[in-house]
Amino acid sequence: MGTGEETSAAGPEGEGRRLGAYVLAGDPVWLASSLSRYYPVLDDLVVMVPRSGLGWTGRRIPVDECVDRVRRHDPRGIARIVLGDWQDPVRPLRADTAQRQAAVEALGSSVDWILQIDNDEILPDVQSLITAIRWADERHLGAVEWPMRVLYRRIARGRYLEVVDPLGPRYDYPGPIAIRSGTVLVEARRCGGPFLRPVVVGDDRSLQVRHPLGDGEVREERLGAHEAIVHNSWARSPAEIRRKMSTWGHASGLRGQLYYLTRWLPAPIVWRAMGDFHPFARQLWPRLRPTQEDIGALLLPEDR
């Protein structure tokens, strides 16, 4: 991996704003497909590598596999490895936040805005995000959130069970996917201060959209459904799900194992009868249905 001393990628695509991003080395699922979507607009990229090879809960995670995938999809050699230790078995979300904050600090003043798109998230159109960043910048907002479609179970090649409501996809907003350089994170990728929340045109049903405007929130109905992030939240193999549940920031021990056995595992058979099934937030995930399109078309061959 290079030093980052390369020609600016932002240029006409980044519209003059220097853009950075970070990759948390721990989850290889969809990493290549995710990174390839936003890599062309980056000026700087840091890969946050736990030197112990252990994740937030103290369990071993596939760090080397993640680093290898970044290397293969970094033709300009801009990625920089940043080593550290981020563990808190009792409160793993604190370690999650600390690792992300270390990434923000590592990028420092080399960029104006930082993309924090997780490895299991596919942004279909990065230019839509660039436009939103410009809009937020002009209005002195410090962050940009984004609607995310949630995939819950893979049922066939390119087909998944997706979280929906009776009228269509149900969108989540787990935190900003773009923040100003120097931002202080408060929980995972969330931060304080004014922020832009673009929503899908016609969506008045998703939980966060039904709520009144939050403190500092600027809400704009400006996106098409095809521009929402596709989030591989739980649509993994059983082995990958068990690993995720033991290493992620929301690890919940026995409660999580019961959820895996009674809700996630039988979903391909009982999905029609499932309702309000989010593992720890009521009313967020109302029901499931098979995706209406081939999600595999968004993925690189190695992630299909």
Phi, psi at residue 186, to the nearest 5°? Answer: -110, -30
Residue 267 CB burial class (10 angstroms; 0-12, 13-18, ≥19): middle
- Joined tokens for residue 200: 């899908």
- Please count the other Cβ atoms lying within 10 Å of the Cβ belonging to residue 165: 16
Reference 4, options 42, 36, 49; nearest CA is 42
CA–CA separation, 108 and 214 (whole Å): 28
All domains of the chain in start order, with CATH: 11-303 (3.90.550)
- Of the pLDDT bands very low, low, confident and very high (cuts 50, 70, 90), residue 12 is very low
pLDDT confidence of residue 280: 86
CA–CA separation, 46 and 34 (whole Å): 15
- Is the pLDDT assigned to residue 213 strictly greater than 50? yes
DSSP-based three-state secondary structure for 213: coil
| Residue matched to tokens 């959130």 | 145
What DSSP designation does 152 have? E
Identity of the amino acid at 249:
G
**Between β-strands 195-200 and 143-144, what pairing exists: parallel, antiparallel or unpaired?**
parallel
Instruction: Give the tens place of pLDDT for each residue, 96-115.
Output: 999 999 999 999 999 999 99
Instruction: Give the tens place of pLDDT for each residue, 231-245.
Output: 998 999 999 998 888
pLDDT confidence of residue 245: 84
Instruction: Give the tens place of pLDDT for each residue, 124-143.
Output: 999 999 999 999 999 999 99
For the whole model, what pTM was predicted? 0.92
60 and 86 Cβ atoms separated by less than 8 Å: no
Instruction: Give the tens place of pLDDT for each residue, 237-269.
Output: 999 998 888 887 665 678 888 899 999 999 999
Task: Give me the half-sphere count of Cα atoms (radius 13 Å) on the Cβ side of residue 37.
Answer: 27
What DSSP designation does 13 have? I
CA–CA separation, 103 and 82 (whole Å): 8
CA–CA separation, 173 and 165 (whole Å): 16
26 and 66 Cβ atoms separated by less than 8 Å: yes
CA–CA separation, 240 and 236 (whole Å): 6
